[in-house]
Amino acid sequence: MNKDIVCIGAGYIGGPTMAVIAKMNPGRKVTVVDINAERIAAWNSPDYRLPIYEPGLEAVVREVRDRNLFFSTDIESAVKTSDIIFVGVNTPTKMFGRGAGRASDLQYWEATARNIARWANGDKIVVEKSTLPVRTAAAMSAILNTHEQYHFEVLSNPEFLAEGTAINDLFRPDRVLIGGAETPEGQSAVAEICELYAGENGDWVPREKILTTNVWSAELTKLAANAFLAQRVSSINAIAGLCEATGADVDEVARVIGADRRIGPKFLKAGPGFGGSCFKKDVLNLVYLCESFGLHTAAEYWMGVIRMNDHQQERIVSRLFAEMFNTLANKKIAMFGFAFKADTGDTRETPAGYVARLLAEEHVRLAITDPAALENARRDLKDIGNVDYEADPYEAAREADAVLLMTDWAQYPQLDWRRIYASMRKPALVFDTRNCLDASALRELGFKVLNIGKAGEGVKSR
């Protein structure tokens, strides 16, 4: 068995993960393949115009690309020449048939498994990197091991990195999880992947942070970890509405709750609700799994996390409506930030997208600005009219009735808010859904200010 690696899927997971694996294992050849030729061309672009925006990524790719990291559309050759195959293809929510709107759409996954079986020319370790329903490895193994000649050992190695901090998360993970069968072949494959994460010089992930489990625990842990994180965001957002109604301040409440070491301070920031490609998809997947096993109360519980999240975005529009004299038609609203969080250009499931659509229904004139996600915003909202896309936030805010801050980009608090105030229609409103601006300084300039989880300007809605 050679130690070369192929990763099928060159997206947000495949690209950064393999770049760091290649850096920490210079003796291994790592090839990332994809059916999307445009994406592969971007990974290979001479001027490093990579297909995803991620701080620190370009520096790693510059170091390893064409040294021991390669990007290609030739999936067949890469599968033939590598004995370790990571699969990081997308697993979106299924939008048709049984389980529509909840279950994972596994068609890309199964297509990949069949291709591996077709092209393999020796024994392989197949590593699930995508997030999958529990027991997918059993289906994968069943498809692969129809092969008469070769043996395929299927492992689960889910990824816990967050976008915007992916490179740091990869270099210094809280833990790496590797699930394998409790057979000699399974355990030897697990040991092989443990060695990979330890790094060629033993200077990457400390052994005690590489956790091993059986395959089913690994698959379920990934869904459970995302569900717990999403649930914390929904919990604090459920407190936020109560703060607005009572005069409590959600940031103060979160600070004190988080000082309890049993709870901890992270993921307690109230805001416009969680976005991103995974939280909603993975919680819905958990709901579907619970339902499939007849665990209806557990399914209801997790569904509540999604309902609370959707409600948070509706509440933003209701509060704007109430504050802006119960009519938004023809008013100009400057949306500051469209990415689902700062430091990424990713707009999948972004709360800003839902809010933009709700505002479009009210015939608002929207001006959207974002330092990294403007092109994605234009693509996502191409079916709605009356939207301007402005790279310059000052231009977006000109003649606007309100600024609606949706993403906590570090540059927004640094803007010249006096200049913004002077260029807006009066009364000028700022709705800071991330509570990242200095509200009292804005009020001194003359702005009306709304926050999430803090008493507003007078009108409160639930």
Cα angle, residue 346 at apex, residues 280 and 309 outer, rounded to 5°: 30
Q: Which is nearer to ligand NAD, 163 or 323 (CB)?
A: 163
Taking CB within 5 to 8 Å according to partner kind, which of ligand UGA, ligand NAD, none is near residue 343? Answer: none
Could you give the string, one character per residue 264-283, with x where binding to ligand UGA holds by CB under 6 A and - elsewhere? ---xxx-x--xxxxxx----
Q: What is the closest distance, in whole angstroms, from the C-beta atom of residue 248 to ligand UGA in the complex?
A: 18
Q: How is residue 137 written in tokens?
A: 């490895």
Task: Decide if 347 contacts 339 (C-beta within 8 A).
Answer: yes
Q: Is 108 in the site for ligand NAD (CB under 6 A)?
A: yes
Q: Which is nearer to ligand UGA, 169 or 291 (CB)?
A: 169
Q: Which of residues 337-356 bind ligand UGA (CB under 6 A)?
A: 340-341
CB-based closest residue to ligand NAD? 11
Longest dimension (CA), the chain: 76
Task: Decide if 155 contacts 190 (C-beta within 8 A).
Answer: yes
Taking CB within 5 to 8 Å according to partner kind, which of ligand NAD, ligand UGA, none is near residue 267? Answer: ligand UGA
d(CA 169, CA 363) in angstroms, rounded, equals: 42
d(CA 203, CA 258) in angstroms, rounded, equals: 33
Exactly one of 7, 278, 290, 436 is catalytic; name it: 278
Q: Which of residues 46-105 bind ligand UGA (CB under 6 A)?
A: none
Q: Is 160 in the site for ligand UGA (CB under 6 A)?
A: yes
Q: Is 230 in the site for ligand NAD (CB under 6 A)?
A: no
Q: What is the closest distance, in whole angstroms, from the C-beta atom of residue 374 to ligand UGA in the complex?
A: 18
Residue 278: active-site member: yes
Residues 6+ apart with CB under 8 A from 313: 272, 273, 351, 354, 355, 358
Q: Which is nearer to ligand UGA, 276 or 371 (CB)?
A: 276
Q: Which of residues 139-168 bind ligand NAD (CB under 6 A)?
A: 159, 161, 163
Candidate residues 5, 6, 7, 8; the one interacting with ligand NAD per rule CB under 6 A = 8
Q: Which is nearer to ligand UGA, 117 or 177 (CB)?
A: 177
**CA-CA distances (angstroms) from residue 154 to 75, 169, 282, 289, 315?**
19, 25, 21, 21, 45
199 half-sphere exposure, CB direction, 13 A CA radius: 15
For 228-283, give the secondary structure using H, E and C: HHHHHHHHHHHHHHHHHHHCCCHHHHHHHHHCCCCCCCCCCCCCCCCCCCCHHHHH
d(CA 282, CA 277) in angstroms, rounded, equals: 9
Residues that bind ligand NAD (CB under 6 A): 8-14, 34-36, 39, 75, 88-91, 108, 111-112, 130-131, 159, 161, 163, 277-278
Catalytic residues: 278
* Interacting residues with ligand UGA (CB under 6 A): 131, 159-163, 226, 229, 233, 267-269, 271, 274-279, 340-341
